[in-house]
Amino acid sequence: MSVEYRPYDPATDADGLYACKRAFERGLGENTGGAAKAAAYDEKLTDDYRRRWLDWVDRCVADDPDCVTVAVDAADVVGYVFCLPERLAFVWDAAVLNELYVAPAHRGTGVADALVEAAIAVAESQDLPIDRIVLDVDPANERARAFYDRHGFEPWGEMVSRPVP
């Protein structure tokens, strides 16, 4: 296995990135909230959502070409990390690690470590209100918590939500 890490290229990586995004979303739904959350996450993954999400990624990449790093093995996108561009830092007054996903076959191989380091490098290049990188991790996701702990992340508040009518 020889994995290459590089900035996302919309011309060549869109299908692979979105395949990973779908798996990321389905994993969130299935593993962090029961059947109702799983159904909600699965139902949103329409063709329209795909188009809108990839358009948003393209706008973010236009702002910061390094904000999405893909892990590619034999021409297949097997993981990605998405650190929001600097202009969106005021969302949390810090850099935002929006998403990190690694395909199951590549977990435990160092791919996630390389991707989180890419996100940290993006954060280090940003002019931030608070010199931190933040992300939302489900407290029940012990594997993810242990991974981020290993990389020096620590609790920084807690996210809550409610439906929007």
CATH of span 3-150: 3.40.630.30
Please write the tens of the pLDDT for every residue from 83-101. Answer: 999 999 998 899 999 999 9
Report pLDDT for 29: 61
Please write the tens of the pLDDT for every residue from 13-40. Answer: 999 999 999 999 888 766 666 777 778 8
d(CA 76, CA 70): 10
From the CA atom positions of the chain, what is the Rg in Å?
15
Residues 6+ apart with CB under 8 A from 6: 69, 70, 72
Report pLDDT for 140: 79
Alpha helices in 32-141 (DSSP H): 34-44, 47-63, 111-125
Which H helix or E strand runs over 150?
helix 142-150
Return the residue matching tokens 């940290």: 120
Report pLDDT for 56: 97
Q: Where are the domains of the chain?
A: 3-150
Which regions in the chain score pLDDT beneath 70? 1, 29-33
